Amino acid sequence: MKYISTRGEAPALAFDEAMLAGLAPDGGLYIPERWPRLSADKIASFKDLSYAEIAFRAMTPFIGDAIPAADFAAMVEAVYGADNGIFAHPEVTPLVPLGDNEWLLELFHGPTLAFKDISLQLIGRLFDHVLARRSGRVTIIGATSGDTGSAAIEACRDRDNLDIFMLHPKGRVSEVQRRQMTTVMAANVHNIAIEGTFDDCQALLKAAFGDTGFRNEMQLSAVNSINWARVMAQIVYYFTAAAALGAPRKSIAFSVPSGNFGNVFAGYVARRMGLPISRLVVATNSNDILARFFESGRYETAGVTPTVSPSMDIQVSSNFERLLYDLYDRDGTMVSRLLDELAADGGFTVDDARLAGSRALFTGYRLDDPATEATIAAVHRDFGMTIDPHTAIGVAAGRARRPDASTPMIALGCAHPAKFPDVVARATGTAPELPPRLADLLDRPEAYQVLPNDLAAVQDFMRRKATVKVEGMAAS
């Protein structure tokens, strides 16, 4: 399988090369050259398989011959095997009943309690494996305002062939979020608290990548949400959940709390692979660029409003470009033109036929903060279950946009409620407790370096701290 760019101007790459590159050199996103299909019989057989077995079967077509099958199987088993303890639940992503033919797919049993662990835990190993085979090494750098940083750190800790440097704005992330990053004691993990805002951190990141000499010297790389490997790993749980409820005999609907459009795009890919998904509800908070698009066909930025579901506080949804590429029959020139228009005018509009095409599967729904809190309270009252604000948006949107009562509706549970204790306590009257493996988080020692908002200071620190010295990386 080869990967091509959504802007149509970059050479096709194998899986491992596309993963290491992240973004394509023409500014586009990598996407498989075609969508592989799984037969109905194969999907039906998933009902009796473990998460790890389904993961191997669903992802293998995307890997091609870039990684030997036995090696890939071993990595998948190490991450998702029921006895390996990376996920706190033996089923990895348990499906629990909510209301009538309504389900919650719990994606938050990983080490940092959010669904990003499911893909990042695999990607840490994939990077390490691919780099070892090339005798290469990379320096991962990221900026975080909360969730993503800890998931990336947990995924990269103790890997042989990489270092990770994570920038967070000093004093501007919650204590739980900071401690999830700074209590990881591993020689290749380096937390940096920048004296500035999250925007300052992002600007430093961009400047570090923009310094070509530094970028090459350190072999900079990123594991952000546009990386194809992340989308790929998220396809799996659509299969496990749908097969458990009777697919492919029955069709299934999903409701997906959405920000960068990565998680819900994985559902789209599952459908292209043959999983009978009859509806994908794109659930947003007040930052509703996606919900507005599926209503009107106009994709238009509108600034960012802080909400109680901060992981969905986005201005543009970077992975949306991948859907656009398919909507425009894989015409990269057209995608480039629309994104130029977005950059120049703040928006673009697709024609009625393409809007209708997208609405055959997708529908949007938006929830504001009061409605989010009311949903947390209602689910607690009606089912005795405590859910986090992102998950609540998915549940409410699924109810509002349900195709019919006979189609199972699965809402994706994206984070553990203990990650967002304030809003959950306000809605339910009880502060949610951290699960046992993180119960002593507030007592663990922390390590991080405070640095000024200054590129040279960050670069100097990175040069001194990287345990991995780059000496002529094999061509990539």
**What angle do the packed helices 51-63 and 69-80 form, to 10 degrees?**
140
Of 311 and 336, nearer to ligand PLP (C-beta) is 311
469 an active-site residue?
no
Cα distance between residue 170 and residue 300, in whole Å? 32
Task: Annotate the chain with three-state secondary structure.
Answer: CEEEECCCCCCCEEHHHHHHHCECCCCCEEEECCCCCCCHHHHHHHHHCCHHHHHHHHHHHHHCCCCCHHHHHHHHHHHHCCCCCCCCCCCCCCEEECCCCEEEEECCCCCCCECHHHHHHHHHHHHHHHHHHHCCCEEEEEECCCHHHHHHHHHHCCCCCEEEEEEEECCCCCHHHHHHHHCCCCCCEEEEEEECCHHHHHHHHHHHHHCHHHHHHHCEECCCCCCHHHHHHHHHHHHHHHHHCCCCCCCEEEEEECCCCHHHHHHHHHHHCCCCEEEEEEEECCCCHHHHHHHHCEEECCCCCCCCCHHHCCCCCCCHHHHHHHHCCCCHHHHHHHHHHHHHHCEEECCHHHHHHHHCCEEEEECCHHHHHHHHHHHHHHHCCCCCHHHHHHHHHHHHCCCCCCCCEEEEECECHHHCHHHHHHHHCCCCCCCHHHCCHHHCCCCCEEEECCHHHHHHHHHHHCCCCCCCCCCC
- Least Å distance, CB 235 to ligand PLP, is 12
- Least Å distance, CB 148 to ligand PLP, is 7
Of 322 and 399, nearer to ligand PLP (C-beta) is 322
Q: How far is CA 176 from CA 89, 100, 139, 171, 244, in A?
A: 22, 35, 26, 12, 34
Residue type, 14: A
Of 285 and 336, nearer to ligand PLP (C-beta) is 285
- Least Å distance, CB 448 to ligand PLP, is 21
Of 146 and 332, nearer to ligand PLP (C-beta) is 146
- Least Å distance, CB 443 to ligand PLP, is 25
Of 177 and 225, nearer to ligand PLP (C-beta) is 225
User: Dihedral, CA atoms, 172, 175, 180, 184, nearest 10 degrees?
Assistant: 90
- Per-residue b or e along 48-63, where b marks 16 or more CB atoms closer than 10 Å to that residue's CB: eebbbbbbbbbbbbbb
- Least Å distance, CB 469 to ligand PLP, is 33
Of 193 and 289, nearer to ligand PLP (C-beta) is 289
DSSP bridge partners of 141:
165
- Least Å distance, CB 473 to ligand PLP, is 30
- Least Å distance, CB 389 to ligand PLP, is 8
- Least Å distance, CB 363 to ligand PLP, is 15
- Least Å distance, CB 224 to ligand PLP, is 10
Q: Which residues of the chain form contacts with ligand PLP (CB under 6 A)?
A: 114, 116, 147, 225, 257-263, 311-312, 390, 414-415
Residue type, 97: P
**Dihedrals φ, ψ of 165, to 5°?**
-115, 120
Residue type, 130: V
Of 66 and 282, nearer to ligand PLP (C-beta) is 282
Active-site choice (2, 42, 47, 116): 116
* Residues assigned a catalytic role: 116
